[in-house]
Amino acid sequence: MQQSGRQGLGLCAVLGNIFVSTPYPLRLTVQLLSCLGFLAFSVLLALALMFYSGFVGTPVFGSIMLGLYAVFIISTVVLDAVPIGSVRV
């Protein structure tokens, strides 16, 4: 597999920016923290549900994930529209 010259911001870069604030200045806003919280919560919930169901994706699992995604999209739009979403923490 050939690797391109582009690199993304992985977990190391995000944690490095939180503690050191270089090389990429990353502003911790309410919107960013809520996105990271939703990401962590959804991954943990998905792992717990998959473990509980014997690692079989059921329609209930899909419905829960779609519901969580809908709540995430709505909260992101609301935080983007309300001025508090861009407040630095």
The Cα-based distances of 42 to 2, 16, 50, 64 in angstroms read 31, 23, 12, 10
Q: What is the pLDDT of residue 19?
A: 76
Half-sphere exposure of 1 (CA within 13 A, CB side): 1
User: How far is it, in rounded angstroms, from Cα 22 to Cα 50?
Assistant: 37
pLDDT tens readout for residues 67-81: 999 999 998 888 888
Positive or negative CA dihedral for 75, 79, 84, 85? positive
pLDDT of residue 28: 77
What are the pLDDT digits (tens) for 37-68? 888 999 999 999 899 988 888 898 999 999 99
Higher pLDDT, 17 or 62: 62
